[in-house]
Amino acid sequence: MSAPLPSTFAGIQNDIARALEQLLAPGGAATPDPVLDAMRYTLLAPSKRVRAVLVHLAADVCGDSARALPAASAVECIHAASLMLDDLPSMDDAPLRRGRPSAHVAHGEAVAILAAFGLLNLAYGHLARAYPAPLAARITALYTDAVGLDGLIAGQAEDVLATDAVIDFNTLERIHRRKTGVLFGAAAQAGALSAGANENAIASLTSYAKNLGLAFQIVDDLLDVVGTEAETGKAVRADARKMTFVSFSGVDGARELANDLCATAERALDPFGRRADPLRELARFVAGRRV
Ligand code: GRG
């Protein structure tokens, strides 16, 4: 099941949903596996799959999406793991995710943590098996760098430590680029690499995706203020103890910033001409999204 993206992307969302279901097939064990249940609970829940769609579209604009699916599935496993960890009581303490109780609420904290590690492990193992060794190594390195000390982990650490603190705009931007923009960049690069793209194409797509990712996070901040639980599938007004783009720029200013970043993202697509129209459509969706 998928959450709404423009209907252009429904086919890709469905392919990804099927691939993720296969990756985490129950396997017929006689006894229930609580960690597998928790992995399935978060990974297979309704989601936009925007990072996976980005992998696919980046590969497609480079002329060959036939090998994009494993990289698309892996990025969704990593993203789902990050959501499970982000929601923990020691982090955002979020009760709701993807329209249902968060993983630690439904499965307990210990199992949720193990399931997050399980999803990361699954992602890297899947890349190793699905691609020839040099490509597997490049995409795995991309994803581990994106998760690592200049990516999600660094961004999250700075974010958590900034709770109740006053930070400046540059710090906020760095946190959000690392928490969200870097994985978008890695997804686009992985798609391009799976298509055998050249360095110029990879650079253009990375620039597009990093700006798109930051815009995505700004809109996330915005939806915390102006969105509803029914639309977003998570608790809103949850950022009260953090400085966000809305606290700096107000609702209209944050929307304008997101629009500007999406326009910058779109300009990076110029070398691809009309072939990049689906990526442009994705940018317009991100700028105006309510989910
Ligand atoms: C070890 C993977 C790993 C992470 C550790 C917890 C952590 C560090 C980072 C948290 C990163 C995080 C959750 C950033 C927020 C990104 C964001 C805007 C999430 C919402 O994404 P959507 O709207 O959600 O794409 P769906 O449910 O549609 O997939």
Topology of domain 8-288 in CATH is Farnesyl Diphosphate Synthase (1.10.600)
Alpha carbons 142 and 51: distance in angstroms, whole number: 14
Q: From CA 274, how far away is CA 181, in angstroms rounded?
A: 24
In whole angstroms, give the CA distance from residue 258 to residue 215: 4
User: Mutation test of ligand 1: which of 53, 54, 82, 222 has the most ligand atoms closer than 8 Å to its C-beta?
Assistant: 82
Please tell me the predicted confidence (pLDDT) of residue 45: 97
Per-residue pLDDT in tens (0 to 9) along the chain, 291 residues:
456 788 889 999 999 999 999 999 987 666 679 999 999 999 999 999 999 999 999 999 999 999 999 999 999 999 999 999 999 999 999 999 999 999 999 999 999 999 999 999 999 999 999 999 999 999 999 999 999 999 999 999 999 999 999 999 999 999 999 999 999 999 999 999 999 999 999 999 999 999 999 999 999 999 999 998 988 899 888 878 888 999 999 999 999 999 999 999 999 999 999 999 999 999 999 999 888
CA atoms within 13 A on the CB side of 60: 16
Ligand 1 centroid–CA 153 distance in Å is 11
Is the CB of residue 50 below 6 angstroms from any atom belonging to ligand 1? yes
pLDDT value of position 289: 87
**61, 99, 80, 69: which is closest to 198 by C-alpha?**
61
- Which atom of ligand 1 is nearest to 47's Cα? 28
User: Is 223:247 a contact under the CB 8 Å cutoff?
Assistant: no
For residue 174, which of 187, 184, 159, 189 has the smallest C-alpha distance?
159
Cα(290)–Cα(223) distance, integer angstroms: 7
203 touches 224 (CB < 8 A): no
Which residue lies with its CA nearest to atom 27 of ligand 1? 47
Domain definitions of the chain by residue range: 8-288
Q: Residue 217: CB within 6 Å of ligand 1?
A: yes
User: Which spans in the chain are helix H?
Assistant: 10-23, 34-43, 50-61, 69-86, 103-107, 109-130, 133-147, 152-161, 169-176, 182-194, 199-226, 229-232, 245-267, 277-288
Ligand 1 pocket check for 220: Cβ under 6 Å: yes
Other Cβ atoms within 10 Å of 290 Cβ, number: 12
- pLDDT of res. 29: 65
d(CA 274, ligand 1 centre) in Å: 31
Query: Encoding tokens for residue 110?
Result: 């210990």
Q: Determine the Cα–Cα distance for residues 143 and 189; give it in Å rounded to an integer.
A: 10
Q: How far is the CA of 214 from the centre of ligand 1 (A)?
A: 12
pLDDT at 26: 81
Instruction: Yes or no: say if 233 and 168 are a contact pair by the CB < 8 Å rule.
Output: no
CA of 79 to the centre of ligand 1 (A): 5
Question: Distance between CA 102 and CA 94 in Å, rounded?
Answer: 7
Of 87, 124, 156, 163, the one to substitute when testing ligand 1's pocket (max ligand atoms within 8 A of C-beta) is: 156
Q: Is 2 exposed, middle or buried (CB count within 10 Å of its CB: 0-12, 13-18, 19+)?
A: middle
Please report, as a single letter, which amino acid is at residue 102: S
Task: Say if CB 186 and CB 199 are below 8 A apart.
Answer: no
Q: What is the pLDDT of residue 28?
A: 63
Residue 3 has what pLDDT?
A: 63
Query: If you search the block for the tokens 């936009």, which residue do you land on?
Result: 48
Q: Is 39 helix (H, G, I), strand (E, B) or coil?
A: helix
Measure Cα distances from 158 to 116, 141, 179 in Å.
Answer: 20, 23, 9
